[in-house]
Every structure is written in C-alpha cells, then in structure tokens.
Structure 1
C-alpha cells in the first residue's frame, strides 16, 4: 500500500506513556514516524491551528505522529521554545480528526499515578520544573499543585477523547494501556492499512513494565 492510500496515525495520549516505544514500533514496521522533533511538531500544529491552516501543513511528510509537545525551556540550555506557549498536541485531537477524517487515533495510556512519577523524574526533574514555570500564571506554585493539575488534565483529556470518538468515529480509536493491553490489539487495529511484520511492542523505558 502506498503512502497516499494509508491513513495518518496520531498518538493522542500524554508523553511518558510509551511514546518512544510507539515511534520505534512504527518505524520497525516501515511506517514513517516522527517523535517530538525538539518542539517543532507542536509549534507547527499550534501555528497552523491559530492561522486556520491544516494542522500538518509543513510537517506532513510522515504517517505517524508521536509526542507532539512543547514545554517552554526545553530542550534544556538550547531551546527553540523560549517565549512559546505550553503546547500538548494530543489535546488537538478534534482538529486533527477534522483535517484528517480517515486518520487512526491511539490513546496511549497507563496507570495515572505511575505516569505522575515518570513525569516528575523525567530529565532529572527538569521537565517538571519547566512545566511548573509555564503554568505559574495559573496559580501552580508547588509540586503538589502541579501533580493536581496533571491529574485534572489526565482525567479531563481521557474523558473528552472517549466521548468524542464514541460519537464521531468509534472504529478509528484504539485505547492502548502500555502496561496491560495485549499488543495483538494494536497489530489488529493497524493491519487493515499497514503490513505489520514486527509484531512485538518494544520496551524502551523501565518505568513502564509492559508485557507484549
């Protein structure tokens, strides 16, 4: 199947939920995949959204998109994100579905308190510190408040994704718990559109103790 016949794949769970593993899984199966790209994915999505263009304009050469985040201050010490807003591109799932109605969406998820711990530890705490600075204007001043904010975002986002796709496109969403969902469900979800030959899900981070 050539590229023009293949649907896009958007990972619409938060970072620290297996995004690198998904990127490696896609790549191993010959699916052109892009991961984070030092904020440029999120910055392009945000700019295109604000200017009323298709969200992938300028970044449309890939099939699968993972970790579409921009945390102001990252990457540390050499940032292209100074002055940029906090962007979590997974929250743009409605617009992505509008612009790419045949796309496949994967809500990559895990146990939320494990996710909190992973985010807090990410890059020796630099991720959490930068995120907290970005939401200071919202009254988030302590680690406890940051954890509460993240949990509120977590449950809100999951509820919104499930509600939206239940009504709009139930067959185009896969909920994939990286610690519990059998990889065969991922293979089966993609197999009608892609040749899935590497059928194991890679285990890239010890913090997520997954089973294929």
Structure 2
C-alpha cells in the first residue's frame, strides 16, 4: 500500500484518452517508471468504487507509479466486457480527490487540438468507441453523433478550465500542461527530473492520427 513516506510521488495523467496516453505510458516505462494504462476499465472502476466507499482512490491499485487512460466505457472490451453494469467513468475528472489523497502527486494535463481529438475519438476502433459512448449517454438525452460531439466539446472545455483553475491556486508546481504536438519534451523531462532519473528523453508518438 502506498504510504506518505514513499520518496517517489505518483503521476496521474488527467487529460482525456486519445491525447497521447499510450505514448506517455511508453515514455514512463522507458524511464523505469512503473506505469499502468487503462487495464480494461479496471483503473477507472476502482477509482469510482473507492470514491463511493470513501477510501483512498488508489486502494487496491496502488502498486504502480504512473496512471494513464483512466476511463471506463460500458460495453468494452469488445466481446468480453467487464463494464456492462458500470457507469461511464472519466477517471481524470477525479483530479481533486486524487490530489487530496496524494498531496505530493504530480499531474499532467495531456492535451491537443480539441477538434482533432473529437475526430480521433470518432474513428477509434472503427467507430465502436463512439457508439458505446453514445449508448452510455442516451439516458442524458444524447441520441446522435452531432449531440455526442457537442457533449465531448463541452466536457473538454469544462475539464480543462477546472483543472487549470484548481492547480493555479492549490498546487501550481504539481501540474504540467502538455500539448502532445506543441510542448517540447524537455518540459516533461524537467518536470519529472527532481523525482525520477530520466534517461529516455524523447517522447514516443504511438497511434498518431493522420
């Protein structure tokens, strides 16, 4: 179990999926930082369940240092879902609770052009991701792709605004805003260097959209 005496802080990627999460996961592993990515919904499900139970959010999943792609979409993984009875969970939205439970943690708001992000989400897994997301939002009145895109764009701007406002006052030195195609990787290296030995100083780009 993670304790306050541990010298290496946890790292939370708190942008949305399709914003370089796999690249960050590979970057962390290349630098000897224990990292976990999505894990078939179980990261997001654990955060959600621990939040409801009033437990530390990493209870049961605290063996890693870096946490990426913390999302749960009902119906995934395809053909063998563990999430049919779960809500739609965007684990990055728990950033305030994660900071409360792990006050020394480092946070990376991974971002990109929001319209490119929407296009990438729509194409993901040949459109099955968008369809599953749409199905999960039908109770909220989201019934077609146009409404889904509007909802994603609203979520995007709300989340970015809330993250930047929160950390600007609560912990400005613990947040890095990283645009995956614009921010120099040296900023990421410098952000982590006080706590980790950064040997692989290049940022890999996997699943890059055309």
What pairs up with 1:55-94 in 2 under 5 angstroms?
55-94=57-96
* Corresponding residue number in structure 1 for 2:10: 8
Unaligned runs of 5+ in 2: none
Unaligned runs of 5+ in 1: none
* Alignment partner of 2:138 out of 124, 136, 139: 136
Task: Write the distance in 1 (CA, Å) between the matches of 2:8 and 2:36.
Answer: 16
What pairs up with 1:26-37 in 2 under 5 angstroms?
26-37=28-39
Task: Write the distance in 1 (CA, Å) between the matches of 2:200 and 2:186.
Answer: 11
Deviation at 1:4, TM superposition (A): 2.1
Matched, 1:172 2:174: yes
* Corresponding residue number in structure 2 for 1:192: 194
Deviation at 1:205, TM superposition (A): 1.7
Deviation at 1:186, TM superposition (A): 0.2
* Corresponding residue number in structure 2 for 1:97: 99
Task: Write the distance in 2 (CA, Å) between the matches of 1:203 and 1:71.
Answer: 24
The superposition leaves residues 35-67 of structure 1 with CA deviations (integer Å, 9 ceiling, x where unpaired) of 000001011000000000000000000000000
Q: Following superposition, which runs of at least 4 residues in structure 1 exceed 3 angstroms of deviation?
A: none
Deviation at 1:113, TM superposition (A): 0.2
Deviation at 1:203, TM superposition (A): 1.1
Name the SS for the 1:10 alignment partner. strand
Deviation at 1:23, TM superposition (A): 0.2
* Alignment partner of 2:154 out of 145, 152, 161: 152
Task: Write the distance in 2 (CA, Å) between the matches of 1:179 and 1:71.
Answer: 26
Give the count of matched residue pairs: 206
* Corresponding residue number in structure 1 for 2:25: 23
TM-score (norm 2): 0.97
TM-score (norm 1): 0.96
Task: Write the distance in 1 (CA, Å) between the matches of 2:208 and 2:87.
Answer: 30
Name the SS for the 1:135 alignment partner. helix
Name the SS for the 1:108 alignment partner. strand
Q: CA RMSD in A?
A: 0.9
Task: Write the distance in 2 (CA, Å) between the matches of 1:198 and 1:191.
Answer: 12
Task: Write the distance in 1 (CA, Å) between the matches of 2:137 and 2:34.
Answer: 34
Task: Write the distance in 1 (CA, Å) between the matches of 2:176 and 2:69.
Answer: 17
Deviation at 1:16, TM superposition (A): 0.1
